[in-house]
Structure 1
Amino acid sequence: MGGGGGGGERGEDSLLSYYCIKFALSAYATLFSLIGLVIFCVGIYAEVERQKHRTLEGLFLAPAVILLLLGLTMFAVSFIGMVGSLRDNRNMLRTFFCVLLAIFLIELLLLLVEIIFERQMNAVFHSSIQDGIRHYYDDLDFKNILDFVQQKFSCCGGDEFRDWDVNPYHSCNSSGPLACGVPYTCCIKQAPGEVMNTLCGYRTLNKERLELVDIIHVRGCIHAVGLWLKDNFEASFGIVCSLLLPQAPGLTCFGFSKDK
């Protein structure tokens, strides 16, 4: 009888573990499906606004499209995981796990490509950013993104601050108050919370870097963002692993071994 009682306890423990894994996966997938739905809705709103003011084409200049794709992908994949875990559908769980694993491997591949072909990737980014800078005042999407990057990462332009010479308003060959200067988002704040002078980058493109180290950020944004990614590689890799790896044992046990 003792053996039968032990078997019953083991059966109850196994059943409890099964339901814990089941509802943990459901909660995880539900959370990310909701996040994906929110991102998708934000992307729809951003795309509607972009269509009203659009003057340029191209995915690089249309972050709303990226939000739409990201949100739709997150929602679709997470929804499959949620339904699969609730209905004990092993095929859906296999699909959920395989897609997550593929996304993880693609991220690793992109990191390796960036590391191995850093110079070529920088050239592509530089060309794209220069094209965006050329139409800086014509496309609000790109303008807002570049302004944010320049302020967040304390940088200016793509490869260097002189990239702004390709803009017809900032070119040294043009006339007007912006000629031969850079946007105020390139300027160094002298004190936290101070009101920025929008003409603080006046007549900076024709000066040497050493003359400008206390006025504007002379480092290009490609290098600034690249350094930030390298400095935070371990943290980013840890976040990705923490999202994927905890699911592996549960998905394996729940999706591949559990009989329907």
Structure 2
Amino acid sequence: MRFDSDRLTPPPPPSHLLHPQWDDRTTSSSSSRGDEPDSRNASYRPTHVYSWQITKPPTDFHCSLTEICRGEMRGYRAIKYTLFICCYVLWVASAVLVAVGIYAKIAKEKDVVDTLMLDPALLLIVVGAAMFLITFLGCFGALRNATCLLKTFLGILAGILFLQIAAGVVGYLFTDMVMERTESLMMKAIVRYREDQDLENAIDFIQKKFQCCGVERYKDWSNNVYFECLDTNPSLEACGVPFSCCIRPQNQTVLNTMCGYGMQQLEERTAGLNIFTIGCLEKVVWWAKNNLLLVAGLTAGLLLLKVCMICLAAAQISRIKKVQQLKNAPRRRSERQDSYWRPAFDRDPGGE
């Protein structure tokens, strides 16, 4: 397409489609026909031609930028809001855990035990606070497209996942050591039974649920000062066990909290008529073996949730970088074409 510069001024072309070139050829129609120059234009000069050449888009852009961005943004938004919803649900749940733990801690007496593994309220606060911080990074990073927060969130989850897998492998390889540590921890809980109301309720729940008493046997309760079977023990519960160890009759309507008094003085067969004599550690291991599919399913579900959130965070980071590249690429291409176009267009037509 050619325009006569003396008769018609060419309109500015779209910078992303046209690549203008200057043509120094003269196309004087009057000289070709042998006519005289137009007297109305005293400054008549040979006409110069602007040659507009349509440039072919680069091969890496097979469709328009709008179509590319739309397709990318759909997948990007799906990943973004899926990650945000997952983190938000866990964030709210962690806030509830922290609130319950703080309430339970405030409601306790001042002289209660503050050991992390033996204080359910303190354990809820610590676990809930850690979850709150981690999920907050995921929520805010996903919502605000903050790659720094998303990378931190991804790194923390990957570290936790690695530690959980390592703990599972170590527990499988060193089963005896794990059992000894568990037994020691449960024995400490028995020793502190009366010192923490939450710990007391947790032990009573386990003994009722699994129908057990003590760690290995019912006489383990002698390690507690209130149930210690000594003649010098002034406690009314001496040589006894908690009421949660008692076998409750079906027709019993009133709970007998004194049903475990003096049971440590009886033989196991005789005591077995009124209380559970098997230790809770053995019952818990037996329950885990009989419900292996349930335990494996819960463990796999937790691991899969972490893996999914790690993949979503990594995918969003990748999408953010890709969208930024798509937004910057046309601008660089347009600037490069304009640098070719402007010098040729601004060139002096009458320059010699």
What TM-score do you get using the length of structure 2 for normalisation?
0.64
Residue 317 of structure 2: aligned partner: 255
* Helix, strand or coil at the partner of 1:215: coil
C-alpha deviation, 1:197, in angstroms: 2.0
Number of residues of Structure 1 aligned to a counterpart in Structure 2 = 256
Deviates more, 1:191-200 or 1:83-92: 191-200
- Partners in 2 of 1:239 and 1:193 — Cα distance? 40
**Superposition map of 1:54-93 within 5 A:** 54-93=111-150
Q: Which runs of 5+ in 2 are unaligned?
A: 1-61, 325-352
- Partners in 2 of 1:160 and 1:113 — Cα distance? 27
Check whether the contact 2:112–2:196 (CA below 8 A) recurs between aligned residues: yes
What TM-score do you get using the length of structure 1 for normalisation?
0.85
1:258 maps to amino acid: I
- Partners in 2 of 1:234 and 1:133 — Cα distance? 29
Residue identity (%): 28
- Partners in 2 of 1:56 and 1:177 — Cα distance? 23
* Helix, strand or coil at the partner of 1:56: coil
Bigger Rg, structure 1 or 2: 2
CA-to-aligned-CA distance 1:184-218 (integer Å, 9 cap, x gap): 10122332884332222233223333334443222
- Partners in 1 of 2:192 and 2:87 — Cα distance? 41
* 1:186 aligned to which of 225, 242, 245: 245
Q: Which runs of 5+ in 1 are unaligned?
A: none
* Helix, strand or coil at the partner of 1:152: helix
- Residue 169 and residue 101 in structure 1: after superposition, are their counterparts in 2 closer, same or farther (change >3 A)? same
Root mean square deviation of aligned Cα = 2.6
C-alpha deviation, 1:91, in angstroms: 2.3
- Residue 23 and residue 55 in structure 1: after superposition, are their counterparts in 2 closer, same or farther (change >3 A)? closer
- Residue 251 and residue 55 in structure 1: after superposition, are their counterparts in 2 closer, same or farther (change >3 A)? closer
**Superposition map of 1:141-152 within 5 A:** 141-152=198-209
2:295 maps to 1:206: no
CA-to-aligned-CA distance 1:49-86 (integer Å, 9 cap, x gap): 23x34243422332222111111111111110111111
2:36 maps to 1:36: no
- Partners in 1 of 2:283 and 2:251 — Cα distance? 21
Check whether the contact 1:90–1:256 (CA below 8 A) recurs between aligned residues: no
2:78 maps to 1:20: yes
Check whether the contact 1:104–1:240 (CA below 8 A) recurs between aligned residues: no
**Superposition map of 1:40-51 within 5 A:** 40-50=98-108
Check whether the contact 2:114–2:122 (CA below 8 A) recurs between aligned residues: no
Deviates more, 1:181-190 or 1:125-134: 125-134
- Residue 14 and residue 189 in structure 1: after superposition, are their counterparts in 2 closer, same or farther (change >3 A)? farther
More helix by share: 1
More strand by share: 2
